Amino acid sequence: MAKHLKDKKIRIYQEVDGGFNAGGFPLPGGWKPIHPGKLWAYARHLSAKEFWDAGMHTEQNQEERFFTINWRNDVTPDMMIRYKDTWFDIVRVDTFEDYKGDVKLYVKEAIGGRVPREGEILPF
């Protein structure tokens, strides 16, 4: 597997419930980072060949780019990435045959109501 320079900074977020207040009423949830600070990542758009070879031209799966990060076992497809003020939905996590090396995160740009508003972004 080729090594790529991880020279971009990303932040990975997971959706969390807000819990309940003292009166038992639900509090609003939001998106919380899964790590302090930002992670170094390699980032690029999928090539046209990768896009078509993987069948990504279908309506159901719209992977647009991927990020490669150092090994983490806590990243799942229901999370989001923020990169250069753009939000991306993680579509697929590839751990490359379960070796504890790089992890590839295939993503598509988040649109509409899926994009967190500033009040929904929680601190680490």
Q: Which residues fall within 8 angstroms of residue 113, CB to CB, at 6 or more apart? A: none
Q: Which amino acid is at 71?
A: W
Q: Which CATH architecture has domain 8-18+25-113?
A: Beta Barrel (2.40)
Q: What are the residue boundaries of the structural domains of the chain, listed by start?
A: 8-18+25-113
Segments of the chain assigned E as strands: 8-16, 30-33, 39-45, 65-70, 80-83, 86-94, 102-109
> pLDDT tens string for the chain (124 positions)?
567 899 999 999 999 988 888 888 887 789 999 999 999 999 998 877 766 655 555 555 566 888 999 999 999 999 999 999 999 999 989 887 777 889 999 999 998 888 998 889 999 8
State pTM to two decimals: 0.81
How is residue 108 written in tokens? 């598509």
